[in-house]
Chains A and B, each alone.
Chain A
């Protein structure tokens, strides 16, 4: 029973890994508890199985799901 968390952009450096496996089920409070506030900051968006969540605090991930942490894109 696990959820895969994927770190994009600079979050992979901050996390020290490209992904991490955590226990399922996983909600927003569980994610913040597992990763800390630096990785789950205000500007970070969440995608669940490839769909961006309009409200990340409504995260409800089950066994086998993939949650991606998306920092702002770079522009330039």
Chain B
């Protein structure tokens, strides 16, 4: 039902979605979202850090909340940690449901919370070195949609 992972290596969205689809034969549809490291002017590399005692459990709790709010067959949350380059996938969310509306909404809900309410810290490497990324006001607004 839940497939929640922190990945220390590569994320291959196509393979993960195929496996998720095969695991939920009764779903009438699957909505997936792949987040990639955005190509920005001078960003050479992105590094994500997490805190093992908190981060995975927080993702599990998020999945439980989504499963309690929508009628889902299954929910997948895969998030990378470590160093990655622009263009690489960093996060995959997939929601399987008998009817599409629940799958769309649950995937959207999960992404908003993974972006701004999960225990990951990011820094970018630019020409002049590494810079930590601070929270943005939009992230707070994204979360308010679900209150």
B6 at the interface (CB under 8 A from A): no
A73 engages B132 (CB within 8 Å):
no
Total contacts A to B, CB within 8 angstroms? 57
B126 at the interface (CB under 8 A from A): no
A15 at the interface (CB under 8 A from B): no
Closest to B35 in A: A76
B122 engages A76 (CB within 8 Å):
yes
A74 at the interface (CB under 8 A from B): yes
Flag B102-140 by CB within 8 Å of A: 1 or 0 each: 000000000000011111111100000000111110110
- Say whether chain A's binding surface is mostly helix, strand, loop, or mixed: loop
Q: How large is the interface on A (under 10, 10 to 19, 20 to 34, 35 or more residues)?
A: 10 to 19
A75 engages B136 (CB within 8 Å):
yes
* Residues of chain A lying within 8 A (CB to CB) of residue B135: 72-75
Contacts known (A47-B53, A50-B53); A9 close to B136, Cβ less than 8 A: no
A5 at the interface (CB under 8 A from B): no
- Say whether chain B's binding surface is mostly helix, strand, loop, or mixed: mixed
B57 engages A50 (CB within 8 Å):
yes
Closest to A9 in B: B121
CA distance A15 to B117 in the complex (A): 24
B53 engages A9 (CB within 8 Å):
no
Contacts known (A10-B132, A13-B132, A50-B57); A74 close to B51, Cβ less than 8 A: no
A73 engages B120 (CB within 8 Å):
yes
CA distance A6 to B49 in the complex (A): 13
Closest to B115 in A: A75
CA distance A76 to B57 in the complex (A): 21
B54 at the interface (CB under 8 A from A): yes
* Residues of chain B lying within 8 A (CB to CB) of residue A70: 51, 54, 119
* Residues of chain A lying within 8 A (CB to CB) of residue B116: 73, 75
* Residues of chain B lying within 8 A (CB to CB) of residue A52: 54
9 residue pairs A–B, Cβ–Cβ below 8 Å: A50-B54, A50-B57, A70-B54, A73-B117, A73-B118, A75-B116, A75-B133, A75-B135, A76-B115
User: Which residues on A are within 8 Å of B, measured CB to CB?
Assistant: 6, 8-10, 13, 47, 49-50, 52, 66, 68, 70-76
